């Protein structure tokens, strides 16, 4: 008699392999990708191509060094997903070598050095992003503004995007503009109402374009929840954490703090909530753990945005909570079947 031997994870639906999950997550970023391309030009698409090529090459290179099967690991698409997330997170005008650095660093050092997919304690894409943000702050904070209010009057053409990425584009300044978060951070003591009226980056066209980006990622994220690739816990907790902090401080001081809706619809909140914080490897496993983890990210994003040195804090918040994820999991183990109470915290392994 032949027995069918199946190794874990024992999923209840057949055919949902790692590569399927990764491909679906990549597909779910398509609305965001289209929106970013529409609003900021072809730079994101060019970055995407560079990032994917770099990810595949560096993954193959390091697998060869480690004497691991190359085709097997490449075909699970996890390196591609890292590349896609990074390409979406990087500004559309970054030079090509910056994308190459970010992607190769995240694949080689953040993922493969720790032992490959499933062993990395940190989100690889965010490690690559943080390295570049620390090393090259100028190109990393240069975003294209909404086409109505920038000098050039239109998004960069394909050739201009290529020139910005592969060489130098003298007219780059006519396209770029401070993002709403950056502009709000440097409003230099102006009241919020004055800032909205006078600072270019805070004009409604710019705010709206970032809102569209976030809505597109929200749509992609809802698709992931509908496909049951991610659960609602992390994103909801993260958005709630950020919203709560923003609400409290906006309520206390509406003249200087940004409103809740401003915080939720600018920067990388939705991309972070649905695509980055939900990374199954580096985030929490239990449902209650995911709630704590997401809440922590949300609070940290607000803290970094408001009192930190960088305009947006999604990458650093996710990395900091990645540190805490194993501890949170330790304290939030669910009740196992047959036990009356969940074993959690200090009672694990003890008598009590």
Partner 1 sequence: MSAQDTLAPDTPVENPAPAGPDYQEILYNGLWKNNPALVQLLGLCPLLAVTSTVVNAIGLGLATIVVLLGSNIAVSLIRNYVSEAVRLPAFVMIIASFTTCIELIMQAYTYELYQILGIFIPLIVTNCAILGRADAFASRNPVLPSAVDGLMMGLGFMFVLVVLGGMRELIGQATLFSDMHLLFGDIALGWKITFFSDYPNVLFAILPPGAFIGLGLLIAIKNYYDEKEKQRVAKAQEGQEKVSRRVRVTD
| The dihedral formed by the CA atoms of 337, 341, 346 and 352, expressed in degrees to the nearest 10 | -110
Question: Footprint of partner 1 on residues 100-159 (CB under 8 A)?
Answer: 101, 109, 131, 134-136, 139
Nearer to partner 1, 94 or 181 (CB): 94
Q: Taking the complex as a whole, how short is the minimal distance between the CB of residue 102 and partner 1, in angstroms?
A: 11
Q: Taking the complex as a whole, how short is the minimal distance between the CB of residue 95 and partner 1, in angstroms?
A: 8
Nearer to partner 1, 97 or 158 (CB): 97
Give the residue carrying structure tokens 């569209």: 212
Q: Residue 9: is the preceding peptide bond cis (ω within 30°)? A: yes
Exposed, middle or buried, 61 (CB in 10 Å: 0-12/13-18/19+)?
middle
Query: What value does the CA radius of gyration of the chain take, rounded to a whole number of Å?
Result: 21
Report residue 88 CA to chain centroid gap: 8
Nearer to partner 1, 109 or 196 (CB): 109
| Structure-token pair, residue 57 | 């090459």
Nearer to partner 1, 96 or 330 (CB): 96
Question: Cα–Cα distance between 199 and 184 in angstroms, integer?
Answer: 9
Residue 327 within binding range of partner 1, rule CB under 8 A: no
Nearer to partner 1, 138 or 346 (CB): 138
Q: Taking the complex as a whole, how short is the minimal distance between the CB of residue 135 and partner 1, in angstroms?
A: 4
Question: By the 8 A CB rule, do 273 and 234 touch?
Answer: yes
Q: Taking the complex as a whole, how short is the minimal distance between the CB of residue 299 and partner 1, in angstroms?
A: 25
Q: Taking the complex as a whole, how short is the minimal distance between the CB of residue 172 and partner 1, in angstroms?
A: 15
Nearer to partner 1, 127 or 292 (CB): 127
| Structure-token pair, residue 303 | 């803290």
Question: Footprint of partner 1 on residues 2-21 (CB under 8 A)?
Answer: none
3-state secondary structure of 176: strand
Q: Taking the complex as a whole, how short is the minimal distance between the CB of residue 60 and partner 1, in angstroms?
A: 19
Total binding residues toward partner 1, as defined by CB under 8 A: 7
| Structure-token pair, residue 112 | 């493969």
Q: Which residues bind partner 1 (CB under 8 A)?
A: 101, 109, 131, 134-136, 139
């Amino acid at each position: 008699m032949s027995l069918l031997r199946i190794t874990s994870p024992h999923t209840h639906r057949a055919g949902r392999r790692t590569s399927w999950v990764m491909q679906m997550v990549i597909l779910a970023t398509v609305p965001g990708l289209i929106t970013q391309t529409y609003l900021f030009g072809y730079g994101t698409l060019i970055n995407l191509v560079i990032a994917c090529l770099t990810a595949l090459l560096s993954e193959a290179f390091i697998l060869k060094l480690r004497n691991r099967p190359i085709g097997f690991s490449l075909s699970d698409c996890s390196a591609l997903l890292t590349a896609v997330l990074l390409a979406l997170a990087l500004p559309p005008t970054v030079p090509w070598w910056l994308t190459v650095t970010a992607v190769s660093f995240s694949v080689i050092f953040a993922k493969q050095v720790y032992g490959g997919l499933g062993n990395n304690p940190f989100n690889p894409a965010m490690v690559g992003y943080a390295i570049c943000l620390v090393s090259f702050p100028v190109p990393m904070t240069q975003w294209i503004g909404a086409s109505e209010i920038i000098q050039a009057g239109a998004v960069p053409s394909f050739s201009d995007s290529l020139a910005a990425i592969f060489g130098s584009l003298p007219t780059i300044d006519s396209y770029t503009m401070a993002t709403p978060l950056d502009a709000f951070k440097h409003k230099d003591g102006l009241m919020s109402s004055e800032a909205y009226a006078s600072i270019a980056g805070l004009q409604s066209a710019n705010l709206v374009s970032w809102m569209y980006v976030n809505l597109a990622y929200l749509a992609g994220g809802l698709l992931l929840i509908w496909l049951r690739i991610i659960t609602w816990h992390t994103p909801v907790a993260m958005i709630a954490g950020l919203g709560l902090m923003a609400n409290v401080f906006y309520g206390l001081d509406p003249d200087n703090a940004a409103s809740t809706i401003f915080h939720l619809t600018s920067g990388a909140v939705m991309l972070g909530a649905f695509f980055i914080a939900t990374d199954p490897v580096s985030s929490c496993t239990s449902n209650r753990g995911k709630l704590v983890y997401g809440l922590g990210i949300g609070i940290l994003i607000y803290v970094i945005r408001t009192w930190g040195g960088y305009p947006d804090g999604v990458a650093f918040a996710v990395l900091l909570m990645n540190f805490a994820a194993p501890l949170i999991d330790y304290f939030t183990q669910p009740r196992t079947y047959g036990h009356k109470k969940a074993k959690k915290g200090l009672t694990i392994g003890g008598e009590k």
